Structure 1
Amino acid sequence: MNAGTPTLSPSPAGEAGPRALDWNVAVGTAVRLMRPGPEVPREEAEHAVRSLRRFSVEAESHVRETTGLGRDLPIAEGDVVDRPAWVRGAAFGLSELTGAAMSAADSEGLHGDDLLGQLSARSGGVQAGVVLAYLGGKVLGQFDPYGQSRTPGQRGRLLLVAPNIVAAQRALGVPVDDFLMWVCLHESTHRLQFNAVPWLREHFAESLGRLFTQLEGGTGELLTKLPHVLREARSRSNSADSSPGVLGVLELLQTPEQRAAFDHLIAISTLLEGHADHVMDAVGPQVVPNVATIRSRFTDRRNGGGLLDRILRSLLGVDAKIQQYAQGAAFTRHVIDRVGMADFNAVWARPENLPTRPEITDPETWITRVHG
């Protein structure tokens, strides 16, 4: 199931100081902690690998027809990988993203060593590895815009985690090929977003860099606020159905400037995830006969899980990400219903046309701003 994965080079000593994170340690930690995938008969595994490779091409063709994006771009097969290979690929992409974001932050005058506090590169790598180990057993697929593509004219890397996809399909009790195509539709939409919108990759890194800039010198201030914020977060969780999670705590800690940078990143990711969810369901009935059943059961699965799993999801912000799917899909659906796909695609014309975080939940304001 493995495809070639770029190796990670250690951060050169002295270049990034305490801001660096040892991604090799992160990978080693994750691989040691990660559970093995499900036992799958050889014939079933080979069918899944062949189908995922084929569907990753067919799915993007369907997505292009539905969205009108990237019609003339080349289409490559996705890389079908196991859990350790996903960890290595994800770590490589994250190292590239954070490196680009750090460069953007430095270009705006950030040179302080306080960005990650006194966290050492190794301990930071261990903590990142724990997160990757957890996610490595959950992620079905991922388009990494900062990974290394082997296809001319394409940027980034599409990873399809075969053992997780097979395990989810079994748990849901849905037809194999329908589910594999459905997953490929979502991830191929992400690949198309970043390849058909030439400025998106750099804009995302620059936006993360602006958030880093706003965090300069703020670690001590954040730590002084933490006890009060945790009490408020606990109070909120006692009076609501769900915990605010790590993202909710971060928002309570932020200055107005930090909140603005954070909101911009949240708005971008919510749009990308929601657009992909909308497209996979819009295309679905044409090529996935059981799309309604799959969506219903998959939504229940997203919201389910045991107590420990739900605690981890809250701490890691996964529950917030689930909300992003719903909010972003509702925004996309509303705009397309009101103005059509062609006018919705104005969102990709330039960075200024991206929705703000308030506009995500009030799409009429975006329509008025962009289309008058």
Structure 2
Amino acid sequence: MDVSGQIQLFTWSEVTHAWSKLWSQPRGVCDFYAYCGPNGACDDHSSSSCNCLNGFEPRSPREWESKVWSAGCMRRTPLRCGDGDGFMLMKKMRLPAPSHSLPDSSLQLKDCKATCRSDCSCTAYASVNENGTGCHLWHKELTGLQENNSSGQDIYVRLADFELDDGSKRRLWIIAPVIIPSMLLVFGSIICYFWRRVLVRRRTELRHKAKRETRVAESLLDLGINMSTINKSLQGGKDSYDFQVFNFATISAATGYFSVTNKLGEGGFGPVYKAWELWTNGRGSELIDPTLNDLSPIGEITRCIHMGLLCVQESAKDRPTMSNVAALLSNETATLPTPKRPAFSLGKNSSITIPGSCSVNLMTISVMEAR
């Protein structure tokens, strides 16, 4: 017998002048009883020889790393009995001696499972016969298991429900504390990014709006209109008025000395009667210069066109005053009224008739016409 406890039989050879081993028992480490300790499974085909069953861990990790496996393994999760436990199938296992056997051939695997489940001390079950009948039951720790045994059979080991499904639930509980904070961080970063974009865009719009209002105020000041007067007018103050008189120099400077590029229209076939046909046909956006698309929102430009049509309505009482124009343009929430037909048209339905002769002495005179 050697230091490992193996019994060996040797014979002397006269030819080789050496001892030759004829027989030994046990032949492999897995033949030693309880070589891997309780709840450990021996495997002659594995370099580590011993492995803990699924759902178990080394009782002494330091000894296990030193390949001293006699202490065996213990459960990672205690059994709760009842509905909190399940059974894990292990195939081709050399089984340890059972605590109790029921060789009744009428018992099926489902009966073995029900019997073991109803007994909180039952740790495993297996069939007695090869045809799956009868029951082997274990009520203590499993000692003497061997994996990958050619003559082995199936055994069902009791585990906490948490340890079933190949440990996927346990891995989920381990990974979840890492994944969830990471996902929250990612989503939080995305929300923060888009929120900052919204704030930057809003601030940019406010800056553009402030610049436009400043330009309007400066233009009105050049024309002799004070914004404070307009505000008082809208609030019904003492400075309220309906008409403003400008001198010739102010109007000349504002229109670029009556430049053609600044005119509002010149009759039925002019730009105004055009800004009307397109507007009534729902094609007002065609009036917008393409170069303005990148400078201001389409809604603001359309609002300006709307205001322009209000200013050239046929009846003067329908036209807004300059103070109202400035106030409505600076208030984006104010609702603009629907514009009426422009003041002058030479279309088929023209309401203006030019007399054949306006002079009794056949002399040339000027005819007053609306623009």
TM-score by length of 2: 0.21
Larger radius of gyration between Structure 1 and Structure 2: 2
Higher RCO structure, 1 or 2 (CA under 8 Å, sep 6+): 1
Q: Which structure has more helix as a fraction of its residues?
A: 1
Structure in which a larger fraction of residues adopt strand: 2
